[in-house]
Amino acid sequence: MNNLFIKASKNKFRFNSTKGKINVEDLWAIGLSYLDGIAVNLHKELEESKELSFIATPTSKSKELSDKLEICKFIIGERLAAAEKLKVKKANRAKLEKIQAIRSKKSDEALENLTEAELDELEKSLL
């Protein structure tokens, strides 16, 4: 994949969008659904540019379209993975907070179940 990004930077790949042409770096910053639209359009262009032949080699235009599509698919995959990782991290954080709240509640319950004498003794030890 690194070679593909090197090729994209050397050849100054530009991607058509409704806002004009954008570069590879911009693909990381645009909305995921917007990026998906660019990938879909590239796929359509690639399919339209293909000629059915078993002996002809792909044209440079179709190779570039294919490379651009692979870049888009890679970035989409990376961004989806990052979003999933963030989702799991948030869920884990929420679960951890819940566990801490339960522990606090159990600690409070333990204190509430102490006798007056035990509370006095505990209080003296803390002063």
Range of the domain at 74: 2-126
Q: What is the pTM of this model?
A: 0.74
Where does residue 44 rank: exposed (0-12), middle (13-18), buried (19+ CB within 10 A)?
A: exposed
Segment 77-127, tens digit of pLDDT: 999 999 999 999 999 999 999 999 999 999 998 888 889 999 989 889 988
Q: What does the pLDDT read at residue 23? A: 94
With tokens 């179709």, the residue in question is 62
Total domain count, the chain: 1
Q: List the structure tokens of 102.
A: 């339960």
Is the predicted pLDDT of residue 46 greater than 70, yes or no? yes
| More confident site: 57 or 37 | 37
Q: Distances in Å between the alpha carbon of 19 and those of 26, 45, 50, 88? A: 11, 18, 27, 33
Task: Kindly tell me the sign of the dihedral angle through the C-alpha atoms of 106, 107, 108, 112.
Answer: positive
Q: List the structure tokens of 7.
A: 């090729």
User: 71 pLDDT band (50/70/90 cuts)?
Assistant: very high
User: 62 pLDDT band (50/70/90 cuts)?
Assistant: confident
Q: What is the 3-state secondary structure (H, E, C) of the chain?
A: CHHHHHHHHHCCCCEEECCEEECHHHHCCCCHHHHHHHHHHHHHHHHHHCCCCCCCCCCHHHHHHHHHHHHHHHHHHHHHHHHHHHHHHHHHHHHHHHHHHHHHHHHHHHHHCCCHHHHHHHHHHHC
Q: What does the pLDDT read at residue 54? A: 67
Segment 1-45, tens digit of pLDDT: 789 999 999 999 999 998 899 999 999 999 999 999 999 999 999
